[in-house]
Amino acid sequence: MRSGLRSLSTAASAALLLVSCSPMLPERPAPARYPAAPSRTEAPLVGALVDLPIGGGTRDAVLRESADLRRCVAQLTAARVSFRPVPDRVNGATCGLTSGGVLGPDMGTVARMAPGEVEMTCRTALALSIWRRQSLEPAAREILGSDVVQIDHMGAYACRAVNNGAGSTRVSAHSRAEALDFAGVRLRDGRRIAVTGSWSGDEAEARFLRRIRDDACKIFGTVLSPDYNAVHRDHLHLEATDTRFCR
């Protein structure tokens, strides 16, 4: 009996000695609960346009990415911008909607459009989304010291002539839902900045409006402000077309 106990003790001691002399194995990390998020280079670049800073090639990129409706919608969807395509339609000889839809909330920003659920071309929606993320909201924080919570506008789709038909028979881009009229913003601190009454001068409000007008000229084809004529005294006309005019 004693001999058996002695043998067992000797075996246990030898095992302990073997373990103490063996190199320590690295601890195996616990398995992750969720897979690691892909890096920027691994992720597809679809949707990156809305999150890229405005540059000399932004306007051409908007035209390129919106040339195909599916590609345009993919850009907006990846950027968490709600856009619901609608069937093409013709409402008259010079009025209709092609490659369009309803622009809903941008879940990547705080500000909301008022009125919401705006019907426009996908190209207009893409240009507008870039403008609000890369110009309007950052400029408000920098110049006005507050976040934008609401973007006021006068609509996009309207079957009418330029200048609402006042002395013109030329068809407006609004008749094809290719433009939006921006009226102003409401800030988190309660202030309302409107193109009417805030455009002139060197106050912060005027500098903000002129900054976002100048940035819009790098994104949209045609941008018209109070500097253009009296018809635009109360809004910025933002037209997403293959044109080049900024005033």
From first to last of the 247 residues of the chain, give the pLDDT tens digit.
Answer: 444 434 434 444 444 443 344 444 444 444 333 233 333 333 344 558 999 999 999 999 999 999 999 999 999 999 999 999 999 999 888 899 999 999 999 999 999 999 999 999 999 999 999 999 999 999 999 999 999 999 999 999 999 877 655 555 679 999 999 999 999 999 999 999 999 999 999 999 999 999 999 999 999 999 999 999 999 999 999 999 999 999 9
Type and span of the H or E element at 239: strand 236-239
Q: Write down the pLDDT at residue 93.
A: 83
Residue 182 in contact with residue 195, Cβ under 8 Å?
yes
Q: Write down the pLDDT at residue 97.
A: 95
pTM: 0.79
Alpha helices in the chain (DSSP H): 2-21, 48-51, 58-65, 69-78, 122-131, 137-139, 195-198, 204-216
Residue 124 in contact with residue 131, Cβ under 8 Å?
no
Type and span of the H or E element at 106: strand 100-106
Q: Write down the pLDDT at residue 161.
A: 75
Residue 213 in contact with residue 226, Cβ under 8 Å?
no
Q: Distances from the Cα of 73 to the Cαs of 8, 102, 239, in angstroms? A: 75, 11, 19
Q: Write down the pLDDT at residue 168.
A: 54
Q: In terms of Cα–Cα distance, which of 243, 231, 240, 63 is closest to 156?
A: 240
